[in-house]
Structure 1
Amino acid sequence: MRSMHFLPNSVEEIIDTYDEDIIITSREGKIIKVTQISGEHYGMKPSELLGKSVLDLQAQGIFSPAITPEVVEKKKKIVTVQMTPSGRKVLITGIPLFNDHREVEFVISYSYELSELIVMKEYLQDLETEMSKVKEELAHLRDQHIQISYLIMESHSSARAIKTALKMARLDVPIVIQGEHGVGKTSLAKFIHAQSNYSEGSFIEVNCGSIPESIFENAFTGQLDAKSQGYLALSSGGTLVLKEIDQLTIAAQAILFTLLNKQTTTRIIAISEMPLEELVHQGKFREDLFYLLHIASIALKPLRERPEDIEKAISFYLQTLNEKYQYNKKLTDDVYIHLLQLEWKGNFRELKNVIERIVIESETSLITFQDLPLQYQPLEGEQIGIELDGQSLPHILEFVERKVLLNTQKRYKTTTEMAHVLGISQPSVVRKLKKYSTSLDKENE
């Protein structure tokens, strides 16, 4: 074996490239290199460890026991549990580095608190279960197209998103889908997969924000144990969806960039609630990863800006839930119109939740305002009455818009305040007020 050249330039040198507790000692036990967090377990600063002897620190009860002497004696990797001065248990691993004469020249040791390892173990168990489920589904997914959940895309902005998705699906480029929580980003990713050249491959979803940083790389490469496969291997020839990519730390982003920059057999779709451009400007997202992923971008607007999609979703959820529970529930026209004008900040998930609650809890087949959860019931004077028979959707939506303007005008004095509440520009409020001026004046009298 060739000699390992780890000789330090000075005793004050610190390994800035590591975010782990790593200590390098000479064969005699002198500490010659440490990382930025070394000493935290023992109540010492990294600079206080440099130049010290682990034997002296052991005698002082700081290292109990020191691992270097055992590694030097047995010439192999040693794993043991140390007790810190504060009474915490630390799992420490010592690795020998040999010189040309097969003598131990240096010892590298790294440590973790046992509480951290328990969290990692629980995560690895959950990950192993998830990987097993994915493997069981792979054969089925390769034989037939993946089942796409219902995609509600009726509005003009949604039609543009679908058009872009279809175009990008046929190209071998990574895609970023951005939008608020619950707007249908994952459903759109499944649609892209089904329309792409990767449709015969697997569709793997990864919740990036839930993976501990300490095993982030292993989760993707499969180096958790000898039998495991990582996400990249499982998604090879298919689609890998990186959910909550905006929640990754800078360190995890660096690892992800290195891994993705090397692979060419998987379609990558990144999903983010925050616009990645803004995060780059704020210094919270790496530019190299942004440019690697941001070849094609699709932004999904919130549901409150997609009234046609709200109408479609209400009808679909009501029909689906009636079939599920073997009911024949219907909404009164007033309730239907009222639901169309709500903000739905939780988007599709919130809307589906409310529809399911009122279907289950309502006592009669006709759902009225009294069946709505209290926070969703209209205030006095805000109820909208309209007969839907024979009315087209544009007419209904125009009626709702006019009614919403009236209710807002009653509450707020200025068009600026109205614009802020409605989430539109002040000139748009002025233009809409002018459009409905006659009817609004009559109803305000």
Structure 2
Amino acid sequence: MYKTPFFHNTATNELVNFLTSIFDTSHDGLYICDKNGYTLLYNEAFLQISGISIDLMNKYSTIELHQMNNVPISCAGIALKTKKPHSTIIDYYNGKKGIVTATPFFNQNQEILFVVSNVRDVTEINHLQHELEKTKQINLAFQNELKQIQSELENNQQFIYRSKSMHQIISLASRFAKNDSPILLLGESGVGKDVLANYIHKNSEKKGAFVKINCGAIPDHLLESELFGYEKGAFTGANVKKEGLFELAHEGTIFLDEIGDLPYSLQVKLLNVIQDSKFRRLGGTETREVNIRIIAATNCDLEHLVEEKKFRLDLFYRLNVLSITIPPLRERREDIPALLFFYLEKLKGKYKVEKKLDNPVLDKCMEYQWPGNIRELKNIIERMYHMSENEKITIDELPRSFQNSKEVSTQGDETVKYNKPLPLKQAVAEFEKGYISDILSSTPTMQDCANILEVNISTLVRKKRNLLIK
């Protein structure tokens, strides 16, 4: 392309047409102006990059185009003024970015004949650079996250969190740890009540052991002897005396998990221990004194159990002196990446194989509702770690429940959406079937699923059969 008034004879026009054909094969923009800045020659690439119309190009000089604000900078104009080559980067008004070099050419008298400008479109390169920088920032954030997790591992800090709600809970737990008052930990199964109890013990001034017992995992007839111990001959088979867990926890902490399952007959004995710090072994007459901190935990509504006469009101008041409610994982999603990286680091340390999470996997984990909370997350990350065939854990390793997760209401309660009303019994059965199916698909074994659901393995097998779960 050229501005015809500058060329008059046929031979020159043919030469210009020939040069123009060559110019137009270039992906770089090419522009030539005379000593006054008026256009002599340019190619299509220059028009595309600069965004200047042909009419303006042919009518005005490069200096005038700059003065009229059609181009941000006139590189050729600067070369004409300084009589030296000039290079710069121009952000054109059409959104393109170009690296421009303008070179003046002289006659024998060192007078400028014309200026040749070369423009290279770096818009896409600039975009890729921004994307690369963004990726670097994300990687840096992940590296910092890993370093912090590594530091927490080295310092033996077991509670991994990033959310504001968990920061407040840890701060509260640290304050509670400085006294001996009973603490009641509330929250769904798998949120980490046992880890928080251990954290409180470690940050207390107690020098004794941290003793844990699950009140729902031991048969009622054995639980009393486990807690209080027994003397020789107290019952058939008691051939030797045995210390109870309260004695083992002397000068330390006893953690009574699932306190809502404590038999009603034992609740008064526990109340006496809390009030008097004294108890007797089963079959014994000697009163024993202990100095212990009691931490209880449950995922049940104890007040509701009190109303149903399944839990003593006086014991509830004694246990509920200080209470902490741990929110479920779906309500503190900021903690999910930190927990994923934490367990990945632990697996790497154990198996000496480093694996990384693909970004879509992290996105899916952030969207998932985590009905089994941290316990489920730990199981799933371990499963994906072992299932992946290379160093990157991809979305293919995610369990089916991530693809078919139930819709959850904004209030945080899990709610299955039905197309039509159902009888309550049928709705409950369908929910139970879907919920158990999801947990089964996200856990490696039936026992792991039973642990999350907090039922016996025999109960899970029976429900699986009755509900026709595959």
Please, what TM-score do these two structures have when normalized by structure 2? 0.48
Is 1:298 paired with 2:305? Answer: no
Measure how far apart 1:224 and its partner are. Answer: 4.7
Name the residue aligned to 1:196.
Answer: 204
Is 1:318 paired with 2:309? Answer: no
Listed as ranges, the matches of 1:384-395 within 5 Å are: none
2:354–2:391 CA contact under 8 A, matched in 1: yes
Question: Residue 221 of structure 1: which of 218, 224, 228 is its match?
Answer: 228
Name the residue aligned to 1:42.
Answer: none
Secondary structure of the structure 1 residue equivalent to 2:324: strand
2:187–2:327 CA contact under 8 A, matched in 1: yes
1:241–1:269 CA contact under 8 A, matched in 2: yes
1:362–1:371 CA contact under 8 A, matched in 2: yes
CA distance in structure 2 between the partners assigned to 1:193 and 1:356 by the alignment: 28
CA distance in structure 2 between the partners assigned to 1:276 and 1:421 by the alignment: 21
CA distance in structure 2 between the partners assigned to 1:253 and 1:275 by the alignment: 16
CA distance in structure 1 between the partners assigned to 2:309 and 2:394 by the alignment: 50
CA distance in structure 1 between the partners assigned to 2:352 and 2:330 by the alignment: 30
CA distance in structure 1 between the partners assigned to 2:357 and 2:201 by the alignment: 36
Name the residue aligned to 1:86.
Answer: none
2:231–2:242 CA contact under 8 A, matched in 1: yes
Listed as ranges, the matches of 1:389-404 within 5 Å are: none
Name the residue aligned to 1:151.
Answer: 159
Name the residue aligned to 2:183.
Answer: 175
CA distance in structure 2 between the partners assigned to 1:333 and 1:250 by the alignment: 50
After superposing on structure 2, the runs of 4+ consecutive aligned residues of structure 1 that deviate more than 4 Å are 420-424
Measure how far apart 1:281 and its partner are. Answer: 2.9
Name the residue aligned to 1:207.
Answer: 214
1:338–1:378 CA contact under 8 A, matched in 2: no
1:370–1:377 CA contact under 8 A, matched in 2: no
Listed as ranges, the matches of 1:13-24 within 5 Å are: none
Measure how far apart 1:218 and its partner are. Answer: 2.8
Name the residue aligned to 1:443.
Answer: none
Measure how far apart 1:418 and its partner are. Answer: 5.0
Name the residue aligned to 2:394.
Answer: 368
Name the residue aligned to 2:379.
Answer: 353
**1:122-142 deviation line (CA, Å, top 9, x unaligned):** xxxxxxxxxxxxxxxxxxxxx
Amino acid in the other structure paired with 1:154: R
Listed as ranges, the matches of 1:41-440 within 5 Å are: 150-198=158-206, 200-225=207-232, 226-263=240-277, 265-377=291-403, 419=410
User: Which range is displaced more, 185-194 or 311-320?
Assistant: 311-320
Classify 1:377/1:186 alpha carbon distance in 2 versus 1 (closer, same or farther; 3 Å): same
Q: Is there any run of 5+ residues in structure 2 with no aligned partner, and where? A: 1-154, 233-239, 278-289, 416-470
Secondary structure of the structure 2 residue equivalent to 1:209: coil
Measure how far apart 1:300 and its partner are. Answer: 0.3
Classify 1:349/1:232 alpha carbon distance in 2 versus 1 (closer, same or farther; 3 Å): same
1:149–1:187 CA contact under 8 A, matched in 2: no
1:244–1:272 CA contact under 8 A, matched in 2: yes
Measure how far apart 1:421 and its partner are. Answer: 7.5
Secondary structure of the structure 2 residue equivalent to 1:257: helix
Amino acid in the other structure paired with 1:208: C
CA distance in structure 2 between the partners assigned to 1:217 and 1:356 by the alignment: 36
Measure how far apart 1:269 and its partner are. Answer: 0.3
Measure how far apart 1:318 and its partner are. Answer: 1.6
**1:315-341 deviation line (CA, Å, top 9, x unaligned):** 111222123222221111111111111
Name the residue aligned to 1:98.
Answer: none
For the aligned residues, what is the CA RMSD?
Answer: 2.5
**1:80-111 deviation line (CA, Å, top 9, x unaligned):** xxxxxxxxxxxxxxxxxxxxxxxxxxxxxxxx
CA distance in structure 1 between the partners assigned to 2:346 and 2:403 by the alignment: 23
Q: Is there any run of 5+ residues in structure 1 with no aligned partner, and where? A: 1-146, 380-406, 409-416, 425-445
Q: Which has the larger radius of gyration?
A: 2
Amino acid in the other structure paired with 2:261: Q
Measure how far apart 1:423 and its partner are. Answer: 5.8
Name the residue aligned to 1:124.
Answer: none
Measure how far apart 1:228 and its partner are. Answer: 1.1
CA distance in structure 2 between the partners assigned to 1:216 and 1:418 by the alignment: 40
Secondary structure of the structure 2 residue equivalent to 1:301: coil
CA distance in structure 2 between the partners assigned to 1:358 and 1:303 by the alignment: 19
2:253–2:295 CA contact under 8 A, matched in 1: yes
**1:199-223 deviation line (CA, Å, top 9, x unaligned):** x211111111233333443322221
1:148–1:190 CA contact under 8 A, matched in 2: no
CA distance in structure 1 between the partners assigned to 2:296 and 2:369 by the alignment: 27
Secondary structure of the structure 1 residue equivalent to 2:303: helix
CA distance in structure 2 between the partners assigned to 1:287 and 1:418 by the alignment: 33
Secondary structure of the structure 2 residue equivalent to 1:204: strand
Please, what TM-score do these two structures have when normalized by structure 1? 0.51
Classify 1:266/1:421 alpha carbon distance in 2 versus 1 (closer, same or farther; 3 Å): closer
Name the residue aligned to 2:458.
Answer: none
Classify 1:419/1:220 alpha carbon distance in 2 versus 1 (closer, same or farther; 3 Å): closer
Classify 1:418/1:257 alpha carbon distance in 2 versus 1 (closer, same or farther; 3 Å): closer
Amino acid in the other structure paired with 2:209: S
Name the residue aligned to 2:102.
Answer: none
Measure how far apart 1:280 and its partner are. Answer: 1.9
Amino acid in the other structure paired with 1:182: G
